[in-house]
Amino acid sequence: MDYRILGHSPLKVSPICLGGNVFGWTADEATSFSILDAWLDAGFNFVDTADVYSRWVPGHAGGESETVIGKWLKAGGKRDKVILATKVGMDMGDGKVGLKAAYIRQAVEDSLRRLQTDHIDLYQAHKDDEATPLAETLEAFAALVKEGKVRVLGASNYTAPRLKEALETSRRLGLPRYESLQPLYNLYDRAVFEQDLAQLCREQGVGVISFYALAAGFLTGKYRKAADTASSARKSTVDRYLNERGLKILAALDTVAARTRSKPGQVAIAWLLAKPAVTAPIASATSLAQVAELEQATRIKVSAEDIALLDQASA
């Protein structure tokens, strides 16, 4: 398996990152443990979560995903086999939100406790906090790196101008920089990343771990009409893809899947892996079968003709 360096960091990550948003939500603890075990057994090492997962679920407070991963790490003694990424900044309630120095200090301790580890490999700003000076945020992150609580820094949901400003601020102040960006990017959601973020990341050597690689499951082809989403936990998200353009993309995925003897979702992952700017797309799994499908996606050989067909259908 082709492991890749994340930005200019020392982290070598597998070509796909396992999304932890489902742990403690649509995947219970036992299922989550089996998925994480299978992930390592398949040769992958990269797992991404966030403190806020899954606060959107009624009765949840946030931290559920980190807690499940922490129990798994402690039970299996596999911490040294995992590149563990989490995030800070989304609203956790009670005023716990943003990227001020004092809150970052509090939030990292909470994440370390839930994850039952003494360090986080990749600690990411979950979204930009324009109310806090970049210098304050980056200095707070730098202190965590110096203390060994965090190895590498990353950003998520930043615009190109703000990411560029953050990189320049780190350079000017001699601070650790954001080595990765986690943007929304998949066959359907292309415009924002491709407009200027992709070029910036390539020019600056910033690794890209794109989220929603399968567009909340839409690109697997299992949702093709409104009735298909009725029982989905992600109905509101998936419904926005059910339109003429979305169905055109699915048709192209079907064509390439037939040609490569694979499945639409695997082709959608292979398309991302073929993009020079992408380091490791993030995809979630709620079953062992889905883990196996993700592993197989890394083996698919998509041709230039296949890429062109998918690019055209999703333009």
CATH of the domain at 86: 3.20.20.100
Catalytic residue, candidates 53, 158, 185, 223? 53
The whole-number pLDDT of residue 56 equals 92
Confidence at residue 223, expressed as pLDDT on a 0 to 100 scale: 83
Closest CA to 149 of 174, 127, 123: 123
In a domain, 85, yes or no: yes
Dihedral over Cα of 162, 55, 36, 289: its sign: negative
Residue 19 region by backbone torsions, left for phi larger than 0, else alpha for psi between -120 and 50, else beta: beta
Contact present, 13 and 3 (Cβ < 8 Å): yes
Residue 255 falls within a domain, yes or no? no
Alpha carbon distances (Å) from 130 to 160, 164, 277 = 14, 14, 26
Q: Work out the percent of the chain whose per-residue pLDDT is above 70.
A: 99
Residue 44: inside a domain, yes or no? yes
Q: Average pLDDT, stretch 274-279?
A: 96
Which residue segment(s) compose the domain that 61 sits in? Answer: 4-218+265-300
Q: Which residue has the higher pLDDT, 216 or 268?
A: 268
Q: Token pair of 226, please?
A: 């409104």
pLDDT score at 232? 73
**Token code pair at residue 250:** 């699915």
Whether residue 162 is contained in a domain is answered as yes
Across 198-204, average pLDDT? 97
In a domain, 241, yes or no: no
Q: Is residue 253 part of a domain?
A: no
The answer to whether residue 139 is domain-embedded is yes
Residue 226 lies in a domain: no
pLDDT of residue 39: 98
Which residues are within 8 A (CB) of 243 and not within 5 positions of it... i.e. 6 or more apart? none
As a whole number, mean pLDDT of residues 8-37 equals: 97
pLDDT per residue as tens digits for the range 219-266: 999 888 877 777 676 677 778 899 999 999 999 999 999 999 999 999
Rounded-to-10 torsion of CA 94, 50, 231, 222: 160
15-19, 69-73, 129-133, 214-218: which has the minimum mean pLDDT?
214-218
pLDDT at 17 over 80: yes
pLDDT for residue 233: 67
Structurally, the chain folds into a number of domains equal to 1
- The pLDDT tens digits of the residues spanning 45-62 come to 999 999 999 999 999 999
Mean pLDDT of the residues in the chain = 95
Q: Based on the residue annotation, tell me whether 53 is a catalytic residue of this protein.
A: yes
Per-residue pLDDT at 304: 96
Task: Give residue 66's pLDDT.
Answer: 98
Spell 15-35 as b/e; 16+ CB within 10 A means b.
Answer: bbbbbbbbbbbbbeeebbbeb
